[in-house]
Amino acid sequence: MGDRRTWLGPLAALAVIVASWEALSAWMALPLFLPSPRAVGVAAWGLLVSGELSEHVAVSLQRLGVGLLLGVPLGVLLGSAMGRSQIVDGLIDPFLRVANATPALALIPFSLLWFGVTEAARYALLVYTVALTVTLNARHGVRQVPAIRLKAASALGVSGRGAFFRVIIPSAVPSILAGIRTAIGLGVMVIVAAEMLGATSGLGFLLMEARSHFNVERMFIGILGLGALSLVLDLGFAFTIERVMPRWSAARRVR
Amino acid sequence: MAPRPGFWLGTLSVTLALGAWAMASAYLVDPALLPPPSQVWTAAARLARSGELLDAARVSLARVAVGYLLGATAGLITGLVLGGVRAADLVLGPAFGFLKGLPPIALVPLSIMWFGIGETPKHLIIAYIVWVVITINVAAGVREIPTIRLRAGAFLGLSGLQRFARIVAPSIVPYLLVGMRNAIGFAYVALVSAELVAASSGLGYLIMDSRFSLQTARMIVGLVALGLLGAVSQLGFDLAVSRSRLLARYARP
């Protein structure tokens, strides 16, 4: 992080991108088609000052938070059960395969049909997406526990349920964390789509509202805001794990 | 081929689930919200006979194919540049980190304003996500080429072009294949995004349109068809890779 060059490159790129955007929009002179970065900045400032932007972001984040809070434990439970027991795996695996092949976004019309335009519809979608991703990763992690660790544990007198909590789950944590990281990315995708197709708040709603008013500035704010949010969440999660629980970091994993 | 032990358990649970579904729509919930399996089957047969299902699947598949080809070609080029030119990576690498997290559906409103409601915005949305995924993978592949291979090439007197053809290209194939495999799933996500928000044809539209007329059975048929199309595309890709003797050699990094 101390290396100045790692910051200078992207900063220069940002400056070049913004400058060419400005030049392009000035040359095209079609503000309804391609607004200048200044116009977008002014509009973003307006949204920020009025508190509208932070409200939409907060609503989207809160939905994502609920989805993670319910989906992660469910996924860990299902995934570790499937990883340990061939019977559970055999029973659930076909559904997992079908769910994995079906894009979650295609379920949005169903969630609207069954739950209406409600908070429950979005939560259901998010919990489903998060749980599915975490299940797959947890199962993989539990299956990959090195046999030698289990043998060592049993030689030391730890087996059965003790081994599950003291050997298997800790060994699977890096894989589960990787799953949560993927789930955060997918969750952003799903929540935005759900908000675009049936909601009255959130970043997705902001985008859809901008579309019906042909408000290009707001579309840009929505797009740039979403990209930034997703990047911050992803890097923030990775950074937190490195700092708070380096023991579980996949990057420093010792096999 | 004897089925694995899991096969029978799977058959059991799927049968039970179908039974529970039939019972639920018979006694528990409004069949308008959850039609019984038999009704879904009838709807599927009707959609198949009228040709609607095939038409919708064909439209969706064509969109994925065009967008995927555009995005994969662009991704291969930008990936090579990003991985090969240090300055480009330093400057533009973070931009791809940003783009990777940007859901394709967020671009749908803007792309409609820019490119209208024809096929172009759909192709471009699919191409966009495929481009980002493949760029990131190819760039990683170029960066991971063992230095010793490049040095050996230089030592043996290979020219720049020869080095590219005999060292760089074969070395990135595994990464390219992983990127191409992942991009299939993303392409379908982008397809659904575009078809749910703004389309008048395709499987996503079939689902959305049936929802407005409360034809739940047709919605389920559309969903299953979409899942099948995605699964078949991925399976076809895997099969093509494992069958091709040239590619199978490279399938693992």
Residue in A with minimal Cα distance to B33: A114
Q: Which residues of A touch B97 (CB under 8 A)?
A: 231
Q: Does a structural domain hold residue B21?
A: no
Does A98 sit within 8 Å of B227, measured CB to CB? Answer: yes
Q: Which residues of B touch A15 (CB under 8 A)?
A: none
Does A89 sit within 8 Å of B6, measured CB to CB? Answer: yes
**Could you tell me if B202 and B210 are in contact, meaning their C-beta atoms sit under 8 angstroms apart?**
no
φ, ψ dihedrals at A145, nearest 5°:
-60, 125
**Distance from CA of residue B46 to its chain's centroid?**
28
Q: What is the mean pLDDT of residues B151-180?
A: 88
Q: Does a structural domain hold residue B27?
A: no
Q: Does the pLDDT value for residue A112 go beyond 80?
A: yes
If one compares A255 and A122, the residue with the highest pLDDT of the two is A122
Residue in B with minimal Cα distance to A210: B109
Residue in B with minimal Cα distance to A225: B102
- For residue range A138-190, what is the model confidence (pLDDT) as tens digits? 999 999 888 888 888 888 888 778 888 888 888 899 899 999 999 999 999 99
**Could you tell me if A222 and A207 are in contact, meaning their C-beta atoms sit under 8 angstroms apart?**
yes
**Residues spanned by the domain of B191:** 35-250
Give the SS3 label for residue A92: helix
Residue in B with minimal Cα distance to A182: B101
Amino acid at site A209:
E
φ, ψ dihedrals at A17, nearest 5°:
-65, -45
Q: What is the DSSP string of A119-167?
A: HHHHHHHHHHHHHHHHHHHHHHHHHTS-HHHHHHHHHTT--THHHIIII
Integer Cα distance of A137 and A92 in angstroms: 15
Q: Which residues of A touch B14 (CB under 8 A)?
A: 94-95
Domains identified in chain B, total number: 1
Residue in B with minimal Cα distance to A233: B101
Shortest distance, CA B162 to any CA of chain A (angstroms): 31
Does B91 sit within 8 Å of A12, measured CB to CB? Answer: yes
Instruction: Say if the ipTM goes beyond 0.90.
Output: no
Q: Which residues of B touch A89 (CB under 8 A)?
A: 6
Which CATH number belongs to the domain containing residue B74 in this structure? 1.10.3720.10
Give the SS3 label for residue A61: helix
Q: Does a structural domain hold residue B13?
A: no
- For residue range A200-252, what is the model confidence (pLDDT) as tens digits? 889 999 999 988 888 899 999 999 999 989 999 999 998 888 888 777 766 65
- As assigned by CATH, the class of the A37-252 domain is mainly alpha
**Could you tell me if A188 and A64 are in contact, meaning their C-beta atoms sit under 8 angstroms apart?**
yes
Q: State the Cα angle at A161 between A158 and A148, rounded to 5°.
A: 45
Does B188 sit within 8 Å of A92, measured CB to CB? Answer: no
User: How do the domains of chain A map onto residue ranges?
Assistant: 1-34, 37-252
- For residue range A70-108, what is the model confidence (pLDDT) as tens digits? 999 999 999 999 998 889 998 999 899 888 888 889 999
Shortest distance, CA A109 to any CA of chain B (angstroms): 6
Q: Is the pTM of this model over 0.95?
A: no
CB count, 10 Å around CB of B12?
13
Q: Does a structural domain hold residue B42?
A: yes
Residue with tokens 């769910």: A99
**Could you tell me if A64 and A232 are in contact, meaning their C-beta atoms sit under 8 angstroms apart?**
no
Q: Does a structural domain hold residue B76?
A: yes
Return the DSSP state at B157. Answer: T
**Which residue among A93, A223, A234 places its CB closest to the CB of B107?**
A223
pLDDT band for position A255 (50/70/90)?
A: very low
Tokens for B176? 């390219």
Nearest in space to B234 (alpha carbons), one of A97, A84, A25, A29: A97
